[in-house]
Chain A
Amino acid sequence: MTLVKEAPAPPAKKRSAAPAAGRRGRRRENLAGYLFMSPWIAGFLLLTAGPMIASLYYAFTSYNLFTPPKWVGLDNFTTMFQDPRWQKSVEVTLKYVVVATPLKLLLALGVAMLLAQKRRGQALYRAAFYMPSLIGASVSVGFVWRALFSDDAVVDRTQKIFGLDVGGWIGNPDYVLYALVALSIWQFGAPMVIFLAGLKQVPQELYEAAEMDGAGPFRRFWNITLPMISPVLFFNVLLESIHAFQVFGSAYVVSDSRCGPADATLVYTCYLYQKGFKESQMGFASAMAWTLVIAVALVTAVLFWSQKKWVHYEEAAK
């Protein structure tokens, strides 16, 4: 399995065995290396590092695109923290991340365990379950979702059968966020495939031995499956939560172009988009972007810190 843990290669200390070794050869290798990766270097400087520095600067300025940025110190941040709509966007985003991520991973793991069994047509099932992950980001699916969850449509009518009458989810500020959550869960195919790869690595002998010892399915899951797939679980939690923090398209398309009603789906990036591109408050939007970076970095750090407690890496495994 080639997941994160194998990513960085050990530094190549061994000198090349080729005849061109030596100082001139090494210089030529350096030149070749930098030439080959010059697209990336240009991209990194121009489109990543440069913009990062610029946006850090903008975050401390008042900038509307038309007049030069004006230094305002921490003003953007103090305004931001006191802005009720910003607070609302943080609340909406956290709710979305905390509800959608675990449910999505639970479903992904459930289906992965189902598909891990050797059955006929396995590849076909796997492909079918993966499909929503690919089309889920499109505006088309946003429309479909809108139609399914609107007043008097399929979801509404189905729940009326069970005596739950909330009207359509789309128009209801208490429910519309959960329509987005449902859309996110629906795209469980990507983490599912990663879980499947992880489940395939679990040695079958462990289950046989446990069964011999009289361990039931629940014990086997808790004591074997879960620890054995914990590295993949960690990877999925990390990736999916970072992803969830950045949700934009579905909120914009499914609820409505203002991420409403009543700001109910005003996810963080939607507010950032409104501030930056609708109100031309580039400084404020940059301050928001950096706050997001810090939040994501904190979540990543906490997850990496916590993995010592629950992620089991096999030391001897190759």
Chain B
Amino acid sequence: MTSATSPVANTANERRRIGSLAWHVGALLVLAVVLYPVIWVLSASFKPSKDIIASLDLLPTKPVWANFSGLADGISGISITSFFTNSLMYAGLAVVGVVISSSLTAYAFAKIRFAGRNLLFTLMIGTLLLPYHVLLIPQYVLFRNLGYIDTLVPLVAGKFLATEAFFVFLMVQFMRGLPRELDEAAKLDGCGHLRTYWSIVLPLSRPAIITSAIFTFINAWNDFMGPLIYLNTPSKYTVSLGLMMFRDQEGISNYGSMIAMSLVALVPVVAFFMAFQRYLIDGMATSGLKG
């Protein structure tokens, strides 16, 4: 069929090759525009402060390290590592909370037949569409009355209480897809729900759990409004707030370090993404999860 002797096959082959070439050229062009800001920040972090806005060169004429070494000084007495430690704590606790609480809740919805299950499931899905802002003020009042302002508690409490309905939904969908025979066999063997959850359903749900964990990590790492509202002491600031502080206090004078820190702040997210993008994108496609 693909023999080169037939002239008809030849032109068809050639046309296919041209089509493929045109496709790659087109896709790469769009990709260049889309990834331009990423390449820009990478290059700008090696430019002297005064060149960052003004110079159009995609590559720094004379790469400098000053922007990164400048980061070691920190901002008004707070070291950069402090922001990163705080963000890591927040994101880490968020992941633990979401994985435990959402998987338990999802198991109940997917595998246990209890009265009122469908009503509660509808309620849970309903919270997906609710604008978060209606809860913002009363939650603030609640945590303020409990004395938890300026701590991580308001930021992670919801994660331990399965309020992230997206992840519960994602895990329910996944657990429903697991072969029913497995947990029925476990039941016949005398396994209780806790045992079935722990030794059968949880290990099999790994893809859904990894997806939720990675998304939780990235969302917590990027979170801006939560820390902005709940954290007051600069030493407790996350990376997002540290960056804002950088802008407000150093401004244009130290533009280079600001851009360098922006780049460093993106590293964990991009690294996670590179490592797990297959899970993320598939999870995304099946659930419509927001990044």
Tell me the complex Cα distance, A114–B20, Å.
Answer: 11
A38 to chain B, nearest CB (A): 8
Interface residue count on the B side (C-beta < 8 Å): 106
Within 8 Å CB of B141, what residues of A? 54, 65, 282
Is A196's beta carbon under 8 Å from chain B? Answer: yes
Tell me the complex Cα distance, A39–B244, Å.
Answer: 34
Contacts across chains A and B counted by CB atoms under 8 Å: 293
B127 close to A48 (CB less than 8 A): yes
A131 close to B35 (CB less than 8 A): yes
Is B82's beta carbon under 8 Å from chain A? Answer: no
B26 to chain A, nearest CB (A): 7
Tell me the complex Cα distance, A286–B278, Å.
Answer: 41
Within 8 Å CB of B169, what residues of A? 7
**Contact indicator per residue, chain B 153-176, by CB within 8 Å of chain A (1) or not (0):** 000011011110000110001001
Known A-B contacts A30-B115, A132-B34; the reply to A143 vs B125 at CB < 8 A is: no
Stretch of B6-14, B69-77, B265-273 with 4 or more beta carbons under 8 angstroms from chain A: B265-273
A157 close to B101 (CB less than 8 A): no
A144 close to B291 (CB less than 8 A): no
Tell me the complex Cα distance, A31–B286, Å.
Answer: 31
Tell me the complex Cα distance, A14–B146, Å.
Answer: 45
Specify the main secondary structure of chain B where it touches its partner: helix
Which residue from chain A places its CB closest to the CB of B52 in the assembled complex? A147
Within 8 Å CB of A147, what residues of B? 40, 44, 52-53, 255, 259
Choose from B34, B176, B229 the contact partner of A129 (Cβ within 8 Å). Answer: B34
Is B120's beta carbon under 8 Å from chain A? Answer: yes
Is A126's beta carbon under 8 Å from chain B? Answer: yes
**Contact indicator per residue, chain A 226-257, by CB within 8 Å of chain B (1) or not (0):** 00000000010001001101101100110001
Within 8 Å CB of A189, what residues of B? 291
Choose from B52, B139, B224 the contact partner of A137 (Cβ within 8 Å). Answer: B224
A296 to chain B, nearest CB (A): 5
Tell me the complex Cα distance, A49–B120, Å.
Answer: 13
Known A-B contacts A29-B113, A128-B34, A246-B131; the reply to A140 vs B263 at CB < 8 A is: yes
B139 close to A51 (CB less than 8 A): yes
Tell me the complex Cα distance, A47–B75, Å.
Answer: 35
Known A-B contacts A48-B163, A134-B218; the reply to A8 vs B104 at CB < 8 A is: no
A37 close to B273 (CB less than 8 A): no
**Contact indicator per residue, chain A 172-198, by CB within 8 Å of chain B (1) or not (0):** 000000000000001101100110110
Within 8 Å CB of B224, what residues of A? 137-139, 248-249, 252-253
A140 close to B41 (CB less than 8 A): yes
Q: How large is the interface on A (under 10, 10 to 19, 20 to 34, 35 or more residues)?
A: 35 or more
B288 close to A50 (CB less than 8 A): no
A18 close to B134 (CB less than 8 A): no
B137 close to A42 (CB less than 8 A): no
Is B1's beta carbon under 8 Å from chain A? Answer: no
A58 close to B262 (CB less than 8 A): no
B209 to chain A, nearest CB (A): 15
Instruction: Output the residue of B123, B240, B255, B261 with the most chain A CB within 10 A.
Output: B240
**Which chain A residues in 43-76 approach chain B with CB under 8 Å?**
43-44, 46-48, 50-52, 54-55, 58, 65
Within 8 Å CB of A43, what residues of B? 101, 158, 160-163
Tell me the complex Cα distance, A300–B129, Å.
Answer: 9
Within 8 Å CB of B59, what residues of A? none
B187 close to A40 (CB less than 8 A): no
B260 to chain A, nearest CB (A): 10
Is A100's beta carbon under 8 Å from chain B? Answer: no
A265 to chain B, nearest CB (A): 15
Tell me the complex Cα distance, A58–B139, Å.
Answer: 12
A32 close to B114 (CB less than 8 A): yes
> What are some 20 contacts across the A-B interface (CB < 8 A)?
A18-B184, A18-B187, A30-B115, A39-B101, A43-B163, A51-B138, A54-B142, A65-B141, A119-B27, A125-B27, A125-B31, A130-B284, A135-B266, A135-B270, A137-B224, A138-B222, A148-B37, A190-B291, A269-B133, A289-B137
Chain A interface (Cβ < 8 Å from any Cβ of B): 1-4, 6-9, 11-12, 16-18, 29-34, 36-37, 39-40, 42-44, 46-48, 50-52, 54-55, 58, 65, 111, 114-115, 117, 119-121, 123, 125-141, 143-145, 147-148, 150, 152-154, 157, 186-187, 189-190, 193-194, 196-197, 235, 239, 242-243, 245-246, 248-249, 252-253, 257, 269, 272-273, 276-277, 282, 285-286, 289-290, 292-293, 296, 300
The 9 closest A-B pairs by CB, nearest first: A43-B161, A33-B114, A51-B138, A140-B262, A36-B108, A54-B138, A39-B101, A40-B162, A133-B291
